[in-house]
Amino acid sequence: MRPLPTHARELARLTPRERALFFDSLDADELESLKTLWPFWARPEQLIPEGDWVYWLPLAGRGWGKTRVGAETVRQWAREFGMVNLIGATADDVRDVMVEGESGVLASCPRDERPRYVAHRRRLEWPNGAKSLLFSAEEPERLRGKQHQKLWCDEIAAWRYPEAWDQALFGLRLGTKPQAILTTTPRPTKLMRDLLADPLTHSTRHSTFENIGNLAENFLDRVVRKYEGTRLGRQELHAEMLLDVPGALWTRALLEQAQIGYPPPRPEESVQQASRSPHPEEPPQAASRRTRTQLTRIVVAIDPPATSGENADECGMVVAGLDETRNVHILADLSRQGETPLGWATRAVEAFRNFEADCIVAEVNNGGEMIETLLRQIDANIPYRAVRASRGKFARAEPVAALYEQGRVKHCGVFAKLEDQMCAMTPDFDRTRTGYSPDRVDALVWAVTALALSQESGGAVFEFYRTLAGEQSGVG
Ligand SMILES: Nc1ncnc2c1ncn2[C@@H]1O[C@H](COP(=O)(O)OP(=O)(O)O)[C@@H](O)[C@H]1O
Ligand SMILES: [Mg+2]
């Protein structure tokens, strides 16, 4: 028999019989520790690179092993350094992916090396005394004044507030060699461009297919086959930075211009500033940095999928508000895939309440009367407006894009997936070629149209909301 494999790639070359013999030669404890022996499994480019880099930026397609590599890097760093912190796109991502996920820190560590997850203090406590503080990029304020010796940032191209990265950078200064690993599927954002141009960055690029042998069949179906051969697939699977699509209604530059920080408040809030936030995603401290602009009208727009279940289209759901100067502010993209109708309807009503919205707007071409029935089951008095698509998606979106060009629409933070769809919106948009339907854009278009372009009131924008709210619920 050949010598025992010292790396997974040798294991892969063995015949099934030889492999079985190898596993038989290990006792239960050895088998257990082999599972978490990262140097055995890792491909060379998944191990911490040598050199004087400050930012290690493995740009990779979905499923390549970004999260696993981040978690394993944290695990290795925590053996030597006292303060190895984590930042994820949202608090849920930090908990569900980076800490408790299948490729997260807890799953990557063998029992005797596994840190204690102290959720209420948002930290990991390692057996050797090292600590990992946990942060969400949606709360840049929490990062203020925090210092890091080593740092892992996951999916940094999808962070809502670029300010979180600025705060992280200020704090990356403990010890003699502060370093950060930034794992992400790339998007052509300013932050990505800056990082790639920085001489302190060590960047590598990898495709999903390098890890194909370790991916579940379900993932291959849901992600790989769906995106393969499509334009978005070049980004999502091959980690390419996509350039603007010729003929698309929006460009990256146009969206960058639209970007502002936190959402403006409703009038009544400015009185009791900072005391509470109606926006569930917004850090409470955000109020202190608000401008004098206020939102006078808020809508939740939904573009419901025709079917439900795992393979159904996404339910597009966008919340937007109008300020006193008649600029539109995009407040949230709550679109989600794979829900039941009752699921998305419930979330729409929740969003209506959380954002203190004035109305829910929904496209009814697909669901007809069902939508109103659903919404009213949850809240009988909800102000609701059905909209019907008489023109094509592109024609509907054009006047909305024109408002962006006039600088009249603001994005309160970065909405990664929504913006990807916007920048791919061409007159010949074809879902069989792109692999998705632009449901997020549809919801956005309905929201902006309702707030700033509605014909319903004979040109007097919003009158119909006042009427509607008065008619249906007495809210006005
Ligand atoms: N070298 C490897 N050997 C074995 N499994 C791996 C390797 N790299 C990644 N994986 C596994 O592949 C799956 C996808 O990895 P994950 O880190 O979640 O991908 P990403 O974050 O890039 O989407 C996980 O189950 C992970 O543990
Ligand atoms: Mg990941």
**Quick one: how many helices (H) and strands (E) in the chain?**
22, 16
**For the segment 286-311, what is each residue's pLDDT rounded down to a tens digit?**
444 444 578 999 999 999 987 776 67
DSSP 286: G
DSSP 184: B
The pLDDT value recorded for residue 366 is 62
The pLDDT value recorded for residue 281 is 52
User: Between 244 and 205, where is the model more confident?
Assistant: 205
Centroid of ligand 2 to alpha carbon of 73 (angstroms):
14
Cα(35)–Cα(180) distance, rounded to whole angstroms?
Answer: 26
Identify the residue whose C-alpha is closest to ligand 1 atom 9. 65
Helix (H, G, I), strand (E, B) or coil at 418: helix
The pLDDT value recorded for residue 344 is 94
Residue 32 lies in a domain: no
Residue 151 near residue 85 (C-beta atoms within 8 A): yes
| pLDDT at residue 471 is higher than 60 | no
The pLDDT value recorded for residue 472 is 42
The pLDDT value recorded for residue 475 is 34
Verify that 374 and 444 share a domain, yes or no.
yes
Residue 17 lies in a domain: no
**For the segment 144-193, what is each residue's pLDDT rounded down to a tens digit?**
999 999 999 999 999 999 899 999 999 999 999 999 999 999 999 889 99
Domain boundary among 184, 211, 236: 236
Of 9, 46, 67, 103, which is best to mutate to test ligand 1, by the most ligand atoms within 8 angstroms of its C-beta?
103
The pLDDT value recorded for residue 370 is 85
For residue 101, give the ligand 1 atom closest to its CA.
18
Verify that 262 and 366 share a domain, yes or no.
yes
Residue 58 lies in a domain: yes
| pLDDT at residue 457 is higher than 80 | no
**For the segment 91-102, what is each residue's pLDDT rounded down to a tens digit?**
999 999 999 999
Closest Cα to residue 58, out of 209, 208, 204? 204
Lookup: tokens for 63: 């499923």
- Low-confidence winner among 10-19, 141-150, 407-416 (lowest mean pLDDT): 10-19
The pLDDT value recorded for residue 175 is 94
CB atoms within 10 A of CB 198: 14
Residue where the block lists tokens 């690993």? 181
Phi-psi region of 326 (alpha: psi -120 to 50; beta: other; left: phi over 0): left
The pLDDT value recorded for residue 51 is 94
Q: Which CATH number belongs to the domain containing residue 343 in this structure?
A: 3.30.420.240
CB atoms within 10 A of CB 189: 22
Q: Which CATH number belongs to the domain containing residue 170 in this structure?
A: 3.40.50.300
Residue 13 lies in a domain: no
Lookup: tokens for 273: 């500033």
Total domains, the chain? 2
Residue 274 lies in a domain: yes
| pLDDT at residue 473 is higher than 90 | no
Residues near ligand 1 with C-beta < 6 Å? 41-43, 46, 60, 62-68, 102-103, 211, 214
Q: What is the mean pLDDT of the chain?
A: 88
Residue 384 lies in a domain: yes
Q: Rounded to two decimals, what is the model's pTM? A: 0.85
Domain boundary among 207, 236, 265: 236
| pLDDT at residue 259 is higher than 50 | yes
Q: Which domain holds residue 290?
A: 252-475
Of 38, 94, 100, 214, which is best to mutate to test ligand 1, by the most ligand atoms within 8 angstroms of its C-beta?
214
**For the segment 358-382, what is each residue's pLDDT rounded down to a tens digit?**
999 998 876 667 889 999 999 999 9
**For the segment 215-249, what is each residue's pLDDT rounded down to a tens digit?**
999 999 888 988 888 888 999 999 999 888 889 99
Centroid of ligand 2 to alpha carbon of 110 (angstroms):
20
Closest Cα to residue 232, out of 392, 372, 422, 403? 422
User: Between 289 and 442, where is the model more confident?
Assistant: 442
For residue 97, give the ligand 1 atom closest to its CA.
18
Verify that 256 and 230 share a domain, yes or no.
no
For residue 8, give the ligand 1 atom closest to its CA.
3
